[in-house]
Structures are given as C-alpha cells and as structure tokens.
Amino acid sequence: MKLALTGISIAHSKSPQLFAAAYPHAPNGSYILLPAPSAEEAIRLFRANGLQGMNVTMPFKNDIVPFTDVQSDEVKAIGAANTIVNRQGQLYAYNTDIHGVVDSFLQRGVTLNHNKALVLGAGGAGQAAAYALSKAGAQVLWANRTAAKVEALAERYKVKPLSFPEAVRELEECPVIVNTLPAGADFLAALHFHPRQAVLDADYSGAPLYRQATAAGADYISGRSWLLWQAVPAFVLFTGRPPDVEAMKYEIEGRK
C-alpha cells in the first residue's frame, strides 16, 4: 500500500511516523511526502505515483475537492477534504478533521453538548471545526478576520458569526476554544483565558496559544491530539482495518 501527504511546508510533518506506528508490520507499505504547488498538481502526482491514499493538509483542503470524483456527506457540507482514497481509479474525498476536533475534547473529558464553543479562523480547518462542534451539540461562535466569510456560512453551519473584536468580548463565556489561526496572527495576542476553558490549537508545530493558555491555567490541547484523532479514521479508510492507536499515541505524545 502506497500512501502520501500533500500540502505546502510539509517537510517536518509527523504523518509518516504515524503511519509507521499505526501499522508496524504492514507488508509492502510506504508513506511519502508529496509537496506540490497546487491541489491540481497534487492530484496529478497522486495518480502518477500510483498511490492508494493521501492525507491533505493546508492550503489544499478546499481546493482539492473539485479534483475528486466522490465526496462524503461531510465534504459536501464543509467544502474541504483531508483524506483521499483511490478506489479502482475513482478518487473518494473524506474529511476526518471533524473527528480530530471532537475526539480531542472528548478524550480530555470536555463536554461539548450545550456548551459554548468559539472557533477562530474560517479556512478548511476552521470550517471542519465549526461543523464538527455544531454536530456535537455545541453552541458555536465563529470568528474570522474577514467577518463576511463567516456571516455567509453561518446558516449552513448553524453557528453565530463574530468579528474578532466581538470574539474577544465573548471569549470568557466560552469553555471550548478551537484556534485554526497560525502562530504570529496579531489577533491572538488579545485573547485572555481562564482555568475553566479547554483550548485546542490546530497548528501543532507552532502551538500559537500554548503560552497564553497554560499561563492562565486553561486546559491546553496540542494540535498533536487533532493530528492523532483525525489520523485514526483516515487510516481505517485507507486500509479497512483499525490501526495501533496506542503506538500512534506514543509517537505523538512520547516522542516530543
């Protein structure tokens, strides 16, 4: 089985190590990095290399969807995919980021149903987070630098759109926060947390909110957790069998 990860700036991704941990005895298995300048080129390389499956990271999660043949209900709803499976030449698109978000909180004992949740950013990861939390029963507030973008999507996702200044004011009342903005985003410096909050970063390498959240006593959840819990269902889609989750956890948590 030949798998890959595509996106931009993927040289330091942990996905190859996760695959090796998930299936340590997989015969003839390989997982390669497939950098590309565009989603269209990523799909061309996918086919040219005879791959069976591919994980998709930023900035291709939205752009890659039109180049697939069949989309899951989640992909149709979100407009973003992070998992591509080749089935007899037909490319199937899935979004397992929704599991990465929800399971990251549930594994920490965080209640989502009827809780207020604030999502920051409206790219592919932010859209998956807003959709996933809404489906899990959370009251989702969604903020983006371009407020018009979340306003246009609010009805589809059943969320309340906010501007960044409004998000700062609402933050204290939200026990669940998901940040999909990159490290260094100016807005993040204005956020002030408290111990009754759980904060999940999408970016596990930059960890944009780590210092602020931990200094305030909040429960900080690294993007490594998101990476792990989106990878588990992705590998089931690739192989048809469950991976070694404990080995994957060790790769993520034990090898810092």
Show which residues are catalytic: 61
Dihedral pair phi/psi, residue 18, rounded to 5°? -65, -40
Residues 102/136, Cβ–Cβ less than 8 Å? yes
Residue 30 is encoded by which pair of tokens?
Answer: 């390989």
Handedness of CA 19, 24, 26, 27 (dihedral sign): positive
